[in-house]
């Protein structure tokens, strides 16, 4: 019975020693998290720069993204567009667009319009000469209300039908970010 005692004493020492670690764990802020998608549209003929912005600071948390559009677009206008993706839970904010650019072959932005009152064409290319979509041209036609959905797809199949033209139907891959911006063309 002596051995039981010894073992019990030993066990309680182990338990006490192990449970005395009172250090707080290290906080994890998601690194690849995209909190913010910003689309900046500069009219080619001059005029107001329009900014479309979606922020979701709690990432995968329950809060819905906050979406803002700085103003109305003009009909029959060509805009130079630049899309940026950021992680604003980091301080300073992490610019994920850089990573997307570096791994351009594995990423592509898609721009889809609900009511076909506008269209986009890509202005940049990856190593293979396929579009990435960070830079693009947006052309509006007639006036009306419109919804632009910006999707960033990771590992798209850029050889899929119409994918390089900006149609995500055959792109497969995984969605890294997806935001819809309602706006008005006047």
Partner 1 sequence: MIKLLCKSVLAICITTSSLAQNCQISFKGKITDFHDSTPIIGASLKIENSNKYAVTDFNGLFEFKNLCKGKITIEIEHISCETKKITVNLNENTFKEITLEHHIEDLKEVIVTSSHNVTSKTVQTTNIDHNTIEQYSGKNLGDILKNVAGVSSINTGNSIVKPVINGLHSSRIIVMTNGVRLQDQEWGIEHAPNIDINNADNITVVKGANSLEFGGDAIGGVIVLEPAKYVLKDSVFGKTILGLQSNGRGGNLHSSITKTTKKGWFLNAKTTLKRFGDFNTPNYTLTNTGLDSKAFSFQTGLKEFEQGFTVDYSFVNNNIGILRASHIGNLDDLVSAINNKEPLIIEDFSYDINEPKQEINHHIFKVDYYKRFQDLGKLDIQYDFQKNQRYEYDIRVGDDKDKAAIDLDLTTHSINSTFDFNNNLDQTYKVGIKGVYQNNFANPLTGVRRLIPDYDKIDAGIFALGNFVLNEKTTVNIGLRYDYNYINAKKFYLKSRWEERGYDEKFGNLITGDYRTQWLVNPIFSFHNVSTSAGIVYQFNDKNAVLFNYGLSNRAPNASELFSDGLHHSASRIELGDLDLQQEVSNRISSTYNFQSNNSTISAEVFFNKIHNFIYLEPTGTEQTIRGAFPVWEYKATNANLFGFDVTWQQKISDAFVYSNKSSLTFGNDAKNNKSLIDIPAPSFKNSLEYRNKKWHQLGVRLESELILKQNNYPDNNFTVYLPQQDTYALVDISSTPPNYHLLHIHTDAVFHLSKKTDVQISASIKNLLNTNYRDYLNRLRYYADDLGRNYNLQLKINY
Cβ-based nearer residue to partner 1, 29 or 76? 29
Closest separation between CB of residue 128 and partner 1, Å?
A: 18
**Residue closest to 141 by CA, chosen among 186, 80, 83:** 186
When binding is defined by CB under 8 A, the residue of 8, 44, 70, 93 that contacts partner 1 is: 8
Give yes or no for residue 105 binding partner 1 (CB under 8 A): no
Residue 96: both structure tokens together = 């994920």
116: left (phi over 0), alpha (psi -120 to 50) or beta: left
Give yes or no for residue 19 binding partner 1 (CB under 8 A): yes
Contact residues for 147 (Cβ-Cβ < 8 A; gap 6+): 113, 114, 115, 180, 181, 182, 183
Helix (H, G, I), strand (E, B) or coil at 80: strand
Residues that bind partner 1 in the complex, under the rule CB under 8 A: 3-4, 7-8, 11, 14-15, 18-19, 24-32, 34-37, 54, 56-65, 89, 99, 102-103, 106, 110, 112, 114, 147, 149, 151, 153-155, 168, 172-180
């Amino acid at each position: 019975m002596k051995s039981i005692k010894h073992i019990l004493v030993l066990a309680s020492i182990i338990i006490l020693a192990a449970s005395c670690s009172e250090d707080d764990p290290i906080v994890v802020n998601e690194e690849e998290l995209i909190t913010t998608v910003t689309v900046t549209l500069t009219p080619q003929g001059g005029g107001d720069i329009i900014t479309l912005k979606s922020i979701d600071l709690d990432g995968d948390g329950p809060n819905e993204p906050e979406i803002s559009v700085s103003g109305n677009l003009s009909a029959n206008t060509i805009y130079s567009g630049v899309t940026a993706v950021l992680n604003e839970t980091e301080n300073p904010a992490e610019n994920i667009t850089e990573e997307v650019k570096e791994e351009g072959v594995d990423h592509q932005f898609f721009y889809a319009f609900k009511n076909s009152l506008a269209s986009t064409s890509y202005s940049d290319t990856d190593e293979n000469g396929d579009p990435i979509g960070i830079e693009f041209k947006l052309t509006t036609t007639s006036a009306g209300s419109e919804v632009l959905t910006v999707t960033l797809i990771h590992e798209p199949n850029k050889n899929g039908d119409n994918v390089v033209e900006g149609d995500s139907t055959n792109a497969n891959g995984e969605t890294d970010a997806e935001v819809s911006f309602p706006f008005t063309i006047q």
